[in-house]
Structure 1
């Protein structure tokens, strides 16, 4: 079964909670998601 966003690629430079949560929803609908983070620390949400 094809998902609505199959074949869509998304590159995200967002941080905090709203970016990753939104990306998760897009991925659930079939999008291929690439999340770019700061090399040393990553997204600040990882520290929680």
Structure 2
């Protein structure tokens, strides 16, 4: 691999979550947001994901 190659920065948000009394930064929470999937409105996958949230 060429060391001159750079990957783009990952998108981050300022989300924090409290787990067992400890505040933890969860900057990649947006990756878990299934409502933002780029799926057609009537698709079975999208319907099932939204139904289970």
Give TM-score, length-normalised by structure 1. Answer: 0.22
Query: Larger relative contact order (C-alpha < 8 A, sep ≥ 6)?
Result: 1
State TM-score, norm by structure 2: 0.21
Bigger Rg over Cα: 2
